[in-house]
Structure 1
Amino acid sequence: MRLQLTLSYAGFLVLAGAVLLTLVWLFLRVPTFRAIGGFAPSHPMLLREFLPAAGVVLTFLLVVGLVGGWLLAGRMLAPLARITAATRRAAGGSLSHRIALEGRQDELRELADAFDAMLAQVEEQVAEQRRFAANASHELRTPLAVSQALLEVARDDPGQDTGELLDRLRAVNGRAIDLTEALLLLSRADQRSFARERVDLSLLAEQAAETLLPLAEQRGITLETSGDVAPTVGSPALLLQLTTNLVHNAIVHNLPHGGSVEVRTTARPGWTTLTVESTGDLLEPGVVATLTEPFQRGTGRVRADDAGVGLGLAIVASIARAHGGGLVLSPRAAGGLRVAVRLPSAPGATAA
């Protein structure tokens, strides 16, 4: 490319010089030529001297065009060399390198900045995937290790109660199945491989609340739903899973007795919002910011049967992103958590 640009510069310069010299030569051949100041050398002599001088001028322009074009092209293409080097380093696995191109804001600077932004995003995603893989491996290894320990104890103690062993194995196996299904659901949401149709979030909120009402009553928690008709477009199954996860999370991570969960939907021009607000312990903003990461729990590594597998809010965030929306978590001043899912409204929907 540098050679092509050099030849282009030199060719253009020589062509412009040739055109200019041709015009001068045609002017000298006009019979009505008169010299300024009364001196008029003969036309044949001018033409004989003009042609060699024109050759020297064109040769000089060619040399200047080649040398200057080579230097200018090298200077212009230097940012591309840095971008290429950064691309090769990224292909080799070095995602932390940045081009950080200086200079004025031109097309190459925009390309370099866009490449740096892409590298930062890829680095963050790779780091997140590695953390997720490590956490998933740990979570999957735990029930397998527990099952192996139970079987080894049963082998060493033939007189152990078989019914108790089977119940514990069933519980451990159920947790492993739940975790695997959650991982598959998370992968499906990330891939966005689902059909879309019109969905009313208010109906999904009522359905999730009705399903989880026995769990709320068992824990002495008041569960209420309210709000507007909130139409959006997406997968009914995934959006129901999103709503159910939020309500279940609000019930499980609540006060031991006398807590409450409020589920409401709102419709605004262009957006619909599902908000789940629950009572609970006081939460630090730093802790709340990590709750959407896989296998993170605000109250530590909970092992109760109904505490979930640590993917509830991670699945919610992934489903919201897959539907073009987002998830906002904020601690309540009196304790507990407020979770708001904002999704695009269905076409033609009007705000209540």
Structure 2
Amino acid sequence: MLINPDDRPANGVFPVRSALLDVFAPRAAAVLVFLLVFGLLGGWILAGRMLAPLTRITDATRMATNGSLSHRIRLPGREDEFRELADAFDTMLAQIETHVAEQRRFAANASHELRTPLAISKTLLDVARTDPDHVTGDVIDRLSAVNARAVDLTEALLLLSRAEQRSFTREPVDLSLLAEEATETLLPLAEEHGVTIETRGDVAPTSGSPALLLQLTTNLLHNAIVHNLPEQGTVWVGTGVRPGTVVLTVENTGEKLTPELAATLTEPFQRGTERVRTDHAGVGLGLAIVRTITHAHDGTLTITPRTAGGLRVTVELPAVSPHTDR
């Protein structure tokens, strides 16, 4: 049907177009409202599911801040960025919990070790004060021995703290020279215990603190001498070079040790109950100091029981060119 232009309404809108708008406008508005509501609801649900892992991580962080280090997120689901973040956070919490436990155990052991000489000193002084027939010279000698032990323990604790903080300047160091120096220093002690020291090895250049690395070598050698056979014991000291690393090895004869016991010997104040005890057994920090100095120099420490008895201790440190100036 043709519409005559002269038949247009005054407002210029055809009746058919107006009718179409009246029919579809409400429907279009309803569809838009539905899409808006559906989008908001779907977005809210999706955001909630995506933010749920963050909420769990946040809650775990608050619990850790309040001192609860045993809590773990253990986020379920597929391997995505949130899962990796949660797993990394759990690993960090486990490491912190282990470190805190070690520090608490160390503090308790250190307090016990320091309290022992102080208690002995107090007892000796009380006895000397109340006993009119006491021998002054004997009391002084015993007090001197107890005080020397307390001083050695305090110096060992300070050395351990210094190594942990890595507050030292790195210099070129040859482990073979340190091994020779430590052997010369402890040779009288070895002769006193009837122990033979055999040295061998090549130039082993590394970088670090000469004083701390000498202390490391001395501790290993001292430990190998005093925890040896009652007579006719042997200590082997060697240095060598491997691809990218230098190695210091100290072996000794002695009592047979289990791998489980050997694994605990680097703990502070840990003294193997199966090992030979002497008056030179030290304060229980020798191998703990060795471990700390090794880690401070970015090295690795390996302790292995020998089949015939005794230990094999290997320290591996990064190698440097002997002509490198640092």
1:185 aligns with 2:159: yes
Which residue identity does 2:101 align to in structure 1?
A
Q: 1:283 pairs with 244, 252, 257, which one?
A: 257
Structure 2 residue 174 is the aligned partner of structure 1 residue 203 = no
The aligned counterpart of 1:257 is: 231
C-alpha contact 2:205 2:322 (8 A) present in aligned 1: no
**1:62 CA displacement:** 2.0
Deviation of 1:349 after TM superposition, in Å, equals: 8.2
- Residues 1:242 and 1:55: Cα distance change in structure 2 (over 3 Å): same
Match for 2:200: what amino acid? S
The correspondence for 1:237, drawn from 188, 197, 211, is 211
Residue of structure 2 in register with 1:21 after alignment = none
For 1:87 and 1:347, locate their aligned partners in 2 and report how far apart those are by CA, in whole Å: 45
State the distance in 2 between where 1:239 and 1:304 align.
25
State yes or no: 1:344 paired with 2:318. Answer: yes
- Amino acid corresponding to residue 249 of structure 1 in structure 2: N
Q: In structure 2, do the counterparts of structure 1 residues 340 and 296 end up closer, same or farther at CA, with 3 Å as the change threshold?
A: same
**TM-score between both structures, scaled by the size of structure 2:** 0.89
Partner of 2:294: 320
> Cα 1:349–1:118, aligned 2, differ >3 Å: closer, same or farther?
farther
> What secondary structure sits across from 1:320 in the alignment?
helix
Which residue is 2:194 aligned to? 220
Query: Which of these residues, 17, 38, 54, is aligned with residue 80 of structure 1?
Result: 54
| Partner residue, 1:141 | 115
Tell me which residue corresponds to 1:156.
Answer: 130
Identity of counterpart residues, as a percentage?
Answer: 71
The whole-number CA distance in structure 2 between the counterparts of 1:337 and 1:177 is 28
Shift of 1:45: 8.0
For 2:307, give the aligned amino acid.
A
Query: In 1, distance between residues paired with 2:152 and 2:226?
Result: 16
- Partner residue, 1:266: 240
In the aligned structure 1, how far is the partner of 2:95 from the partner of 2:103? Answer: 12
Contact 1:231-1:349 at 8 Å conserved across structures: no
Conservation of the 8 A alpha-carbon contact between 1:86 and 1:98 = yes
Structure 2 segments unaligned to the other structure (5+ residues): 1-15
- For residues 160 and 44 of structure 1, what CA distance do their matches in structure 2 show? 124
The residue type paired with residue 293 of structure 1 is E
- Deviation track 1:145-174 (CA, whole Å, cap 9, x = no partner) reads 000011011111132211111111011000
1:98 is paired with a residue whose SS is coil
Q: In 1, distance between residues paired with 2:17 and 2:297?
A: 82
Name the SS for the 2:73 alignment partner.
coil
Out of 102, 108, 124, which is 2:82 matched to? 108
* Secondary structure of the corresponding residue to residue 168 of structure 2: coil
Q: State the Cα distance separating 1:60 from its structure 2 match.
A: 2.9
The secondary structure found in structure 1 opposite 2:180 is helix
Distance 1:348 1:247, change over 3 A: closer
1:13 is aligned to none
Displacement after TM superposition at 1:54 (Å) = 5.2
**Match for 2:171: what amino acid?**
E
Aligned residue for 2:11? Answer: none
Structure 1 residues 302 and 281 mapped into 2: Cα distance closer, same or farther (>3 Å)? closer
Contact 1:239 1:319 in 2 (8 A): yes
Give the partner amino acid of 2:318: P
**2:42 paired residue number:** 68
**Structure-2 residue corresponding to 1:292:** 266
Which deviates more, 52-61 or 330-339?
52-61
Whole-Å separation in 1 of the counterparts to 2:31 and 2:216: 77
TM-score, reference length from structure 1: 0.83
The answer to whether residue 256 in structure 2 is matched with residue 247 in structure 1 is no
Deviation at 1:48, TM superposition (A): 8.3
**Cα 1:169/1:58, change in 2 over 3 Å:** same
Output one character per residue of 1:257-293: Cα deviation in whole Å (capped at 9) or x when no partner. Answer: 1000001011111111111000001111111111000
8 Å contact from structure 2 (residues 224, 251) kept in 1: yes
Deviations 1:73-104 (A, max 9, x none): 00111111111111111111111111111111
State the aligned residue count: 309
Say what the alpha-carbon RMSD is for the aligned residues. Answer: 2.1
Change over 3 Å in CA distance of 1:99–1:158 after alignment to 2: same
Amino acid paired to 1:193: S
Aligned to 2:307: 333
